[in-house]
Structure 1
Amino acid sequence: MPREPRHLKVTQDQYFKAALSQLAAQGAEGLTISWLCRALGVTSGSFYHYFGGWAGFVEALLTHWEAEQTQRIVELARAAADPEQRLDVLRQQATDLPHDAEAAIRAWGRGEERVSQTQQRVDARRHAALLAIVSDLGVRPEDAERLATTGMALLVGMQQLQRPVDIDMLGAVFDELGRTIRDYAGRAASSRS
């Protein structure tokens, strides 16, 4: 198989995309500088130019993952007009996550503190986003907290149970959670009237 020319310029995003793909396929053990450079057809100089070294790359990858798979999703959900729409947007975005890569990031975090810290921050932000939506639907605070925690448990649980994640099943599980949340919201509205 012919190699890409060495002068080919790659972007940081191409490094991140390749890294997430490799994490999904081989886990953190398969993600190395040499693998990335071979996969992208570049020399290690390109890697060091962008990231300075492995620690810089890991930090940049985690920042990218957090921004793209959490911050962007939360912002999309917040842009919707009402809590019902925000719940639907969040459900769709959560279904579309790179689940196999995320499962690998969780496994990686068990042995790497900076990965663990980012993964915990991502989980906390996702939980807070769901909690805000459920609360905005009028669900009582103690119920909203439990429902948001259930949503996170479903996401993480499906990522751990299946490889690859069955997207149809995940969607069905999220739909069931959505019905449960809406049922709680309906009961809360009835009790206020």
Structure 2
Amino acid sequence: MRSVPALQRVDFFRAGLSLLEEQGSNSVTAVAVCERLEVTRGSFYHHFSNFDDYLVALLDYWSEFFTSSRRGLLEKEVDLGPRSDVFIELGGALPHNLENAMRAWATTNPIVREAVRRVDSTRLSYVEDSLRRAGCDPATATLYAHIATSAFIGLEARGLVGDQQLLRRVFEEIEWAVMTRIGASPPVRR
């Protein structure tokens, strides 16, 4: 008989996110996660005290993996143009069905709603920081950060984020508006 490696908490998170992305929020239950992993519920409760404990940890994992851990990639770029390119690359690489499923779940679950709000706030702060570094005053940076993140969320909800050309054009237009607003020369893009 071959030995099966012990499951880690991350395995339960990946299973839950996979269920959410494929089947929606009603599919994310302790039973379904255990069935996906082919383990007993006892294994689930060995790692989590109850489902809410799992849910909070799952949302923390989602936030860290798809948002917080990406900040280092932005820090490598100083200028707004290259930072915009990183935003486009990172945004395009997000699992959009999962992001949309998470937003749908947030409409019915207050724990998920708070986690999505925190993720949106973190992502907004990344954009605000980039705009302040480009020379925007705080109010202008906040305004354009809201415009950029709202545009991204809207494109994502409409299934258009995979269109890298459209995403790039939208962000270039926002970048042009920002640079014009602060009196700087908008970058010439190829």
* Shorter-chain TM-score range: 0.7 to 0.9
Q: Per-residue deviation at 1:166?
A: 5.5
Which residue identity lines up with residue 184 of structure 2 in the other structure? A
Percent of paired sites with the same residue: 27
Match in the other structure for 1:22: 19
Per-residue displacement from partner, 1:57-98 (whole Å, max 9, x unpaired)? 101000001111111122321233444332222221111112
8 A Cα contact 1:73 1:90, kept in partner: no
Alignment correspondent of 1:91: 88
Q: How does the TM-score come out when normalised to structure 1?
A: 0.83
Sort the Cα spacing of 1:177 and 1:135 in 2 relative to 1 into closer, same or farther, 3 A.
farther
Q: Structure 1 pair 123/172, CA: closer, same or farther in 2 (3 Å)?
A: same
What one-letter code is carried by the residue in structure 2 that aligns with 1:180? E
Shift of 1:133: 0.8
Match in the other structure for 2:184 = 189
Are positions 1:178 and 2:171 aligned together?
A: yes
Instruction: Select the residue among 46, 55, 58 that pairs with 1:61.
Output: 58
Matched, 1:132 2:129: yes
Distance 1:91 1:64, change over 3 A: same
CA distance in 2, matches of 1:84, 1:40: 43
Which SS does the other structure have where 1:116 is aligned? helix
TM-score by length of 2: 0.84
Please give the alpha-carbon distance, in whole angstroms, between the structure 2 residues aligned to 1:7 and 1:144.
Answer: 51
Secondary structure at the residue paired with 1:42?
coil
Q: Tell me, in whole angstroms, the C-alpha distance in 1 between the residues paired with 2:55 and 2:161.
A: 28
Question: Counterpart of 1:120 in structure 2: which amino acid?
Answer: R
Structure that is richer in helix per residue:
1
Paired with 2:139 and 2:176, the residues of 1 have a C-alpha distance of 15
Q: Distance in 1 between matches of 2:185 and 2:111?
A: 46
Coordinate RMSD, CA, aligned = 2.3
1:28-177 superposed matches below 5 A: 28-139=25-136, 141-162=138-159, 167=162, 169=163, 171-177=164-170
Segments of structure 1 that go 5 or more residues without pairing to the other structure are none
- How many residues end up aligned between the 2 structures? 183
Offset at residue 25 of structure 1 (A): 1.2
Give 5+ residue unaligned stretches, structure 2.
Answer: none
Q: Secondary structure at the match of 2:135?
A: coil
Question: Relative to 1, partners in 2 of residues 1:13 and 1:180: Cα closer, same or farther, differing over 3 Å?
Answer: same
Amino acid at match of 2:36: A
Measured in 2, the distance between the counterparts of 1:19 and 1:173 equals 31
SS at match of 1:80: coil
Q: Which amino acid aligns with 1:189?
A: A
